[in-house]
C-alpha cells in the first residue's frame, strides 16, 4: 500500500491539484527510492494541450542520465515509425509521454527489469485528468497493453496485428534494438501497421 501525504490527497480529491503541482510532486517522488539502483529520477512529459499520449515501459540508463524520454536508439526508431522528427517530438506540446514506470528499474538477467508497479496506479489517472484532449494513446510493449486493454488476444504479436487501428488505443511492440528479430519475423508490421499508425498520427499533428 502506498500512502500519500494528506495535503496531496486533499488537493486531489477536491479538484485543487493543478498539472504543474502534480508534475512537481511526481518529480519529487521518493516512494521506490530504496529499491532503485540509480535512485529516483522520474521521467514524464504532460501538457493540457496534449492530443497524443505515448505510454511506454520505463526509462533505460541513457534516459535516466539525461532525463530526456526516448533519448536513445529506441526513441530514434519510434520517431521513424511516427514520421516525426526529433525537434517536433520534444517541442510539440500535443505529444505527452507517460511510461508505466517513471524511473529506471534496474538490470535483470535478460535486460532491464519490468517497470515498477507503483507508478501507473499512483499517477496515470491523475495525469490523464489534466489532459482532456487526448485522442490517441500509443501503448508500447506488453506492460502498457496489459494495463490498459481488456481484449482477449493471447500474445503481443496477435494484438499488434489484429487490434483495430481506429480505436483510441494503438498497441505497438517496443522499438528497442532487442526487438530486431521480432521485426524481421513479422514483416506485416512495416507494411500494414506502420502506415495505419501514421494515418492516425498525421492528421492530429497537422491540425493546429
What pLDDT, in 10s, does the model give residues 104-159?
999 887 778 999 999 999 999 999 999 999 999 999 999 999 999 999 999 999 99
Which domain, by its residues, includes 131? Answer: 6-206
**Cα gap 182→200, rounded to integer Å:** 23
**Cα gap 206→173, rounded to integer Å:** 25
Please report the pLDDT score of residue 12 as a whole number.
52
Tell me, yes or no, whether 142 lies in a domain.
Answer: yes
What is the number of domains present in the chain? 1
Q: 157-175 pLDDT, tens per residue?
A: 999 999 987 889 999 999 9
DSSP per position, 10-47:
HHHHTT---HHHHHHHHHT--TTTTT-TT------B--
Tell me, yes or no, whether 13 lies in a domain.
Answer: yes
Read off the pLDDT band of 207 (50, 70, 90). Answer: confident
Tell me, yes or no, whether 126 lies in a domain.
Answer: yes
Tell me, yes or no, whether 1 lies in a domain.
Answer: no
- Which range scores top for mean pLDDT: 31-35, 36-40, 95-99? 95-99
State percent of the chain over pLDDT 70: 92
What distances in angstroms separate CA 60 from CA 19, 26, 106, one per listed residue? 25, 18, 8
CATH number at residue 187: 3.40.470.10
Amino acid at each position: 500500500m502506498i500512502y500519500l501525504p494528506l495535503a496531496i490527497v486533499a488537493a486531489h480529491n477536491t479538484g485543487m491539484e493543478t498539472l504543474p503541482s502534480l508534475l512537481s510532486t511526481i518529480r519529487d517522488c521518493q516512494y521506490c527510492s530504496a529499491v532503485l539502483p540509480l535512485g529516483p529520477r522520474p521521467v514524464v512529459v504532460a501538457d493540457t494541450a496534449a492530443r497524443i499520449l505515448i505510454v511506454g515501459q520505463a526509462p533505460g540508463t541513457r534516459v535516466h542520465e539525461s532525463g530526456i524520454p526516448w533519448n536513445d536508439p529506441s526513441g530514434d526508431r519510434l520517431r521513424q515509425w511516427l514520421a516525426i522528427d526529433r525537434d517536433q517530438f520534444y517541442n510539440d506540446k500535443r505529444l505527452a509521454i507517460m511510461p508505466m514506470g517513471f524511473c529506471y528499474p534496474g538490470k535483470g538477467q535478460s535486460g532491464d527489469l519490468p517497470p515498477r508497479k507503483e507508478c501507473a496506479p499512483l499517477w496515470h489517472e491523475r495525469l490523464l485528468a489534466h489532459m482532456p484532449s487526448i485522442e490517441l494513446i500509443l501503448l508500447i510493449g506488453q506492460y502498457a497493453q496489459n494495463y490498459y486493454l481488456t481484449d482477449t488476444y493471447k500474445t503481443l504479436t496477435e494484438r499488434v496485428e489484429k487490434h483495430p487501428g481506429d480505436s483510441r488505443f494503438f498497441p505497438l511492440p517496443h522499438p528497442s534494438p532487442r526487438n530486431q528479430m521480432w521485426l524481421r519475423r513479422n514483416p506485416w508490421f512495416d507494411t500494414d501497421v506502420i502506415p495505419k499508425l501514421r494515418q492516425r498520427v498525421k492528421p492530429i499533428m497537422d491540425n493546429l
